[in-house]
Amino acid sequence: MVMFKAAFVREWRLLARQKADWLNPLMFFLIVLTLFPLGIGAKPNLLAEIAPGIIWIAALLSVLLGAERLFKDDYRQGVLEQLVAAEQPMLAYVLAKIVSSWCSTALPLLLMSPLIALLLGLDSAAWLAVFLTLLLGTPLLNLLASLGAALTLSADKGGILLALLILPLYIPLLIFASAAVDQASLGLDYSAQLAVLGAMLCLSLALVPLAVLKALKLNVG
């Protein structure tokens, strides 16, 4: 717990100093969102129909984009090696990284979601669904992205490789999240889809940090 707090506070400070680390993905998210109406056409009905998918795809791309930095600096500066060599319990460190990256990439998304609903012509029911799916889904996005970051840590050209590896794993999340929002816009109950998202989140919370640990040790050792 102490370790978690220490690591978390450190991450927070690093993010406060390097604002680009969290501002850039956010701007990327907004810009990608604006590309869709520009590319597909801004008919309000069409936009409202594809909005859930667009929001989710933009969110997942921006999380992936910001994922590479997660362990890179610590790896380059030898912090990881020290932690592994000192045989510190690294789970707290990994969790702190994931939670802080969620705070920095997903929280802003959640806070901006009303604005995005406005831009894409979503009504309030659909917006609520977007918000809830983002709430449940973004931790999952961050968990898997951190796994990708850990796996490709010492690889050359790791950035795009990270995306290639993790995108197929995002597909179930994308399917259920956009289905939930679709249901909401039809006025139907979508708690089942949310439950599935919650289940995926629980499963990932239990398993992914362990895989991240293994991947980190693998890259450092």
Partner 1 sequence: MFKWLDPYAKPETLYRICGLWFPWLMTAAVATLLLGNLWGLAFTPPDYQQGDSYRIIHIHVPSAIWSMGAYSSMAIAAFIALVWQVKAAQWAVGAIAPIGAVFTVIALFTGAAWGKPMWGTWWVWDARLTSQLILLFLYLGVIALAGAFADRQTGAKASALLAVVGVVNLPIIHFSVEWWNTLHQGATITKFAKPSIDASMLWPLLISILAFGLILAALTCLRLKTAILENEQHRPWVRQLAVSLAATPAKGSIAKSVTKEEV
Residue 47 beta carbon to partner 1: minimum distance, rounded to whole angstroms: 19
> 106, 143 in Cβ contact below 8 A?
no
CA 169-173-174 angle, to 5 degrees, is 100
Residue 218 beta carbon to partner 1: minimum distance, rounded to whole angstroms: 5
> 123, 185 in Cβ contact below 8 A?
yes
Residue 6 beta carbon to partner 1: minimum distance, rounded to whole angstroms: 27
Of the pair 86, 206, the CB lying nearest partner 1 is at: 206
Binding site for partner 1 (CB under 8 A): 147, 151-152, 154-158, 161, 164-165, 167-169, 171-172, 175-176, 179, 182, 200, 207, 211, 214-215, 218-219
Residue 112 beta carbon to partner 1: minimum distance, rounded to whole angstroms: 27
Residue 118 beta carbon to partner 1: minimum distance, rounded to whole angstroms: 27
> 215, 144 in Cβ contact below 8 A?
no
Of the pair 63, 173, the CB lying nearest partner 1 is at: 173
Of the pair 34, 189, the CB lying nearest partner 1 is at: 189
Of the pair 99, 165, the CB lying nearest partner 1 is at: 165
Of the pair 116, 148, the CB lying nearest partner 1 is at: 148
